[in-house]
Amino acid sequence: MVGFGAKPRGTLQLETLMNQVMSSYKTGNEELDRWIGEMAELCRPAGVHVCDGSDREYGELAAQLVREGKATALNEAMRPHSLWFHSDAEDVARVEECTFICSRREEDAGPTNHWVEPGEMKRKLGGLFSGCMEGRTMYVVPYCMGPLGSPFSIVGVEITDSAYVVLNMKWMTRMGKEALKQLGNGAFSAGMHSVGAPLKQGQKDVRWPCHVKERCIVHFPEERSVWSYGSGYGGNALLGKKCLALRLASVMGKEEGWLAEHMLILGLTSPEGEKKYIAAAFPSACGKTNLAMLTPTLPGWKVECVGDDIAWIRVGDDGRLWAVNPEAGYFGVAPGTSMKTNPNAMRTIAKNTIFTNVALTGEGDVWWEGMDGSPPEKMISWLGKVWKPSDGPAAHPNSRFTVSAKQNPIYDPMANDPKGVPLSAIIFGGRRNGVVPLVYESFSWQHGVFLGASVSSESTAAAKGEVGKLRHDPFAMLPFCGYHMGDYFAHWLEMGKKTSADKLPKIYYVNWFQKDAEGKFLWPGFGENSRVLKWIFERTSDKAPAKKTAIGSIPTSLDLSGLEILTEKLTALFSIDREAWLKECDEIKNYFKVFSSRMPSELLRELDELIRRLH
Ligand code: GTP
Ligand code: SPV
Ligand code: MN
Domains, the chain, ordered by start: 2-69+95-257 (3.40.449.10), 260-328+412-614 (3.90.228.20), 330-407 (2.170.8.10)
Pocket test for ligand 2, best of 92, 96, 331, 354 (most atoms within 8 A of CB): 331
Q: Which of 59, 20, 22, 43 minimizes the C-alpha distance to 167?
A: 59
Distance 343 CA to ligand 2 centre (A): 21
In this prediction, residue 9 carries a pLDDT of 41
Tell me what the mean pLDDT of segment 214-219 comes to. Answer: 98
Checking if the pLDDT of 483 tops 70, the result is: yes
For residues 4 and 553, the model is more confident at 553
CA separation for the pair 133, 131 (Å, rounded): 6
Q: Per residue in 108-124, pLDDT tens?
A: 999 999 999 999 999 99
In this prediction, residue 4 carries a pLDDT of 58
- Consecutive H or E run containing 211: none
CA separation for the pair 253, 109 (Å, rounded): 15
Tell me what the mean pLDDT of segment 57-84 comes to. Answer: 98
β-pairing, 83-85 with 137-145? unpaired
Distance 473 CA to ligand 2 centre (A): 14
Residues with CB under 6 A from ligand 2: 94, 234-235, 241-242, 284, 309, 331, 462
Among the bound ligands, name the one nearest to the CA of residue 290. 1
What average pLDDT does the chain have? Answer: 95
Checking if the pLDDT of 107 tops 80, the result is: yes
φ, ψ dihedrals at 344, nearest 5°: -65, -35
Residue nearest to atom 8 of ligand 2 (CA): 235
309 lines ligand 1 (CB under 6 A): yes
282 lines ligand 1 (CB under 6 A): yes
In this prediction, residue 21 carries a pLDDT of 47
Residue nearest to atom 11 of ligand 1 (CA): 287
In this prediction, residue 293 carries a pLDDT of 98
Burial 33-52 (b: 16+ CB within 10 A, else e): bebbeebbebbbbbbbbbbe
Q: Per residue in 306-357, pLDDT tens?
A: 999 999 999 999 999 999 999 999 999 999 999 999 999 999 999 999 999 9
For residues 2 and 89, the model is more confident at 89
Active site residue 243: no
What does the CA dihedral 378, 382, 384, 387 come to, rounded to 10 degrees?
A: -30
CB 261 within 8 A of CB 311: yes
Among the bound ligands, name the one nearest to the CA of residue 233. 2
In this prediction, residue 101 carries a pLDDT of 98
Tell me what the mean pLDDT of segment 57-81 comes to. Answer: 98
Among the bound ligands, name the one nearest to the CA of residue 341. 1
308 lines ligand 1 (CB under 6 A): yes
CB 190 within 8 A of CB 225: yes
Which atom in ligand 1 lies closest to the alpha carbon of residue 398? 3
Q: Which of 387, 384, 329, 391 minimizes the C-alpha distance to 357?
A: 384
CB 145 within 8 A of CB 175: no
State how far the alpha carbon of 144 is from the alpha carbons of 44, 80, 412, in Å. Answer: 26, 27, 19
Q: Per residue in 522-546, pLDDT tens?
A: 999 999 999 999 999 999 999 999 9
Distance 479 CA to ligand 2 centre (A): 10
**What DSSP state is assigned to residue 275?**
E
Distance 188 CA to ligand 1 centre (A): 33
Angle in degrees, 0-180, between the axes of helices 601-614 and 445-453, rounded to the nearest 10: 90
Percent of the chain with pLDDT over 90: 94
In this prediction, residue 15 carries a pLDDT of 43
Checking if the pLDDT of 24 tops 50, the result is: no
Distance 400 CA to ligand 1 centre (A): 12
Checking if the pLDDT of 32 tops 70, the result is: yes
Which atom in ligand 1 lies closest to the alpha carbon of residue 283? 7
Checking if the pLDDT of 557 tops 60, the result is: yes
In this prediction, residue 151 carries a pLDDT of 87
Marked catalytic residue, from 43, 51, 286, 305: 286
334 lines ligand 1 (CB under 6 A): no
What value, to the nearest 5°, has the Cα angle with vertex 471 and ends 534 and 446? 50
Percent of the chain with pLDDT over 70: 96
Tell me what the mean pLDDT of segment 6-35 comes to. Answer: 60
Q: Which residues keep their CB under 5 angstroms from ion ligand 3? A: 284, 309
In this prediction, residue 374 carries a pLDDT of 85
Q: Per residue in 1-16, pLDDT tens?
A: 334 543 434 444 444 4
Q: Per residue in 371-407, pLDDT tens?
A: 988 889 899 999 999 999 999 999 999 999 999 999 9
Checking if the pLDDT of 22 tops 80, the result is: no
